[in-house]
Amino acid sequence: MHDQANSRTDDAADSQLVSALARGIRILQCFSMGDAELSARDLVERTGLPKPTALRLINTLAEFGLLRYSERISKYVLGTEMLSLAAPALGRMTIRQIARPMMQELADYCHGQVTLAVGYRLNMAYAEVIQGDGSAVYRSETGTRLSLSRTASGRAYLWTVPGAEREQYLQETLARDPAKGELLAQRLELAQQELRAHGCTLSHGDMQREIHSVAIPLSAPIDDEYWVFSCSIAVFNISGNQLTDDIAPRLMSLVRRVEAALGSMTGAAHDMETRPWSVSAN
């Protein structure tokens, strides 16, 4: 009986620790490129946590260097310890080192921006951002989250992940905002047609009116992570059908070369012709 009581106590303590960890992560996830500075009140409102609980967690995160209170602006910012956590995550991504010189070459050629984004489940972020000579495209920072619905990369990603995850995202969007959900469904249908016809997805000013983009996903995930390359160009740097007739083939060549390099390193070649959208829409 005594052992059973101790076991229940240990389980309860473990559950509380897991809950506290999850809540702490929710606080850290409130920060983004657009919200790099947040007050304690902001964090309480965004997480929905009771104020005393949120403040205890904020103080704990600050003790570990993950958050820092800025006296200058009277708000919290992510601490420098976050850099130490991010460095190993970026360092293990061999694809970044392989692709970087090829991405720079294409970015300089088209006077645009070439990016490499990685996704896991229903989240996607930039792992590499290369700015070309004379690029007029706003430079996103590595780690910036992408919109899955309003970017060529996001829509390419949604057609690469398992169908159940794509359907989940669509249904969640429909539940939150039916109008946006219907627009997403239309964009996904068009993206599927683009992938089947050209092997890429296109964006004509969906996020920024003056920016056009083309995106191509890797044919297979790497350790359960899905990767998408994209090239974005200011509309005044594009002539005629250059995006589809010139830039898209060059981006496809880049993807093929990266996959060949990855295949030679792992001893497993990727089949570029076997793509999920060409097999089934489900």
pLDDT tens track for 146-196: 999 999 999 999 999 999 999 999 999 999 999 999 999 999 999 999 999
Q: Which amino acid is at 109?
A: Y
Backbone angles phi, psi at 8, to 5 degrees: -65, -40
User: Which residue in 96, 103, 115, 104 sits closest to 213, CA to CA?
Assistant: 115
Core vs surface per residue 192-214: b (16+ CB within 10 A) or e: bebbeeebbbbbeebeeeebbbb
Question: DSSP assignment, residue 130?
Answer: E
Band of residue 89 on the pLDDT scale cut at 50, 70, 90: confident
Tell me the per-residue pLDDT of 3-23, one tens digit each, with 9 for 90 and over. 554 444 445 455 666 788 899
Give all domains of the chain, ordered by start, each with its CATH number. 2-80 (1.10.10.10), 93-279 (3.30.450.40)
What's the CA gap between 189 and 206, in Å, rounded? Answer: 15
Residue carrying structure tokens 């694809």:
95
Please answer whether residues 61 and 47 qualify as being in contact, where contact means their C-beta atoms are separated by less than 8 angstroms.
no
User: Cα–Cα distance between 272 and 256 in angstroms, integer?
Assistant: 7
Q: Nearest 5°: CA angle at 124, between 197 and 77?
A: 155
User: 3-state DSSP call for residue 106?
Assistant: helix
**pTM > 0.95: yes or no:** no
Mean pLDDT, the chain, integer: 87
Q: What is residue 92's three-state secondary structure?
A: coil
